[in-house]
């Protein structure tokens, strides 16, 4: 009878905690003390803690499906959003070009209206083509700019300068070396 009572006490009797207890060993059973060290090793503790944390995460099928739908939605919408922003940039660029062209057209319309005025045409003929009306005399002044200031020549020294060094070595070096170019000569005098 005692064995029957033990079997009856092991039955779940509708208790959900029974199944949890049956799947998970007791915390004391999971944390075993090493007989040689006298204490628990840190690597084992970390592994036990990580497993306990991972076991604590419960994902339902609904959560997995919703996460999949979310990822699929991002993958579908990302190229569409990128294309939308590119098109909006292109539209704003084209609107700016359109506004610039309208300003140019209005400027050209104003010029056309000026050319309809006979006084404007006469003024342009005088200024651009140097035309005159019959009976008028035109005077053209050439070179009406002020004269350029004269350059003052540099003063030449009358003192004799003494050179330090061997004159023969300087003469030989000047013969053998390529001449230095100056900004005004454009190359070695060739």
pLDDT string in tens for the chain (190-residue length): 444 444 445 555 555 555 555 555 555 555 554 454 444 555 555 555 767 666 777 778 888 899 999 999 999 999 999 999 999 999 999 999 999 999 999 999 999 999 999 999 999 998 888 888 899 888 887 877 777 788 888 887 788 777 777 888 888 888 888 777 766 555 544 4
Tell me, yes or no, whether 147 lies in a domain: no
86, 102, 129 — which closes off a domain? Answer: 129
Tell me, yes or no, whether 72 lies in a domain: yes
78, 99, 129 — which closes off a domain? Answer: 129
The answer to whether 5 and 14 have CB atoms below 8 angstroms apart is: no
Tell me, yes or no, whether 135 lies in a domain: no
Do 45 and 88 sit in the same domain of this protein?
Answer: no
Q: What is the pLDDT of residue 108?
A: 95
**CA-CA-CA-CA torsion for 39, 43, 45, 46, nearest 10 degrees?**
160
Cα angle for residues 119, 124, 126 (degrees, 5° grid): 95
Tell me, yes or no, whether 120 lies in a domain: yes
Do 41 and 96 sit in the same domain of this protein?
Answer: no
DSSP state of 152: P
Residue 169 CA neighbour count, 13 Å, CB half = 4
Show the tokens assigned to 48.
């036990």
113, 129, 145 — which closes off a domain? Answer: 129
Tell me, yes or no, whether 88 lies in a domain: yes
**CA-CA-CA-CA torsion for 164, 166, 169, 170, nearest 10 degrees?**
30
Do 47 and 87 sit in the same domain of this protein?
Answer: no
Do 105 and 85 sit in the same domain of this protein?
Answer: yes
Tell me, yes or no, whether 137 lies in a domain: no
Tell me, yes or no, whether 134 lies in a domain: no
C-alpha span between 9 and 47 (Å, rounded): 33
Q: What is the pLDDT of residue 90?
A: 96
What is the reported pTM?
Answer: 0.35
List Cβ neighbours of 132 (8 Å cut-off, separation of 6 or more).
126, 138
Q: What is the pLDDT of residue 46?
A: 59
DSSP state of 39: S
Domain of 99, in residue numbers:
61-129
Tell me, yes or no, whether 166 lies in a domain: no
Do 49 and 75 sit in the same domain of this protein?
Answer: no
Do 42 and 76 sit in the same domain of this protein?
Answer: no
C-alpha span between 190 and 178 (Å, rounded): 12
Helix, strand or coil, per DSSP, at residue 168: helix
Q: How many distinct structural domains can be found in the chain?
A: 2
Do 117 and 84 sit in the same domain of this protein?
Answer: yes
């Amino acid at each position: 009878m005692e064995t029957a009572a033990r079997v009856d006490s092991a039955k779940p009797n509708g208790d959900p905690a029974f199944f949890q207890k049956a799947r998970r060993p007791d915390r004391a059973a999971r944390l075993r003390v090493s007989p040689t060290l006298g204490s628990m090793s840190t690597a084992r503790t970390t592994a036990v803690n990580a497993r306990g944390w991972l076991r604590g995460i419960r994902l339902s099928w609904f959560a997995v499906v919703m996460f999949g739908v979310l990822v699929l939605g991002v993958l579908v919408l990302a190229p569409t959003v990128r294309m939308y922003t590119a098109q909006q940039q292109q539209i704003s660029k084209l609107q700016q070009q359109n506004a610039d062209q309208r300003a140019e057209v209005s400027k050209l319309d104003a010029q056309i209206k000026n050319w309809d005025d006979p006084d404007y045409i006469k003024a342009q003929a005088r200024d651009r083509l140097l035309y005159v009306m019959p009976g008028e005399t035109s005077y053209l002044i050439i070179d009406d700019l002020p004269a350029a200031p004269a350059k003052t020549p540099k003063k030449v020294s009358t003192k004799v300068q003494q050179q330090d060094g061997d004159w023969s070595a300087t003469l030989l070096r000047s013969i053998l070396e390529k001449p230095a170019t100056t900004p005004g000569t454009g190359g070695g005098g060739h």
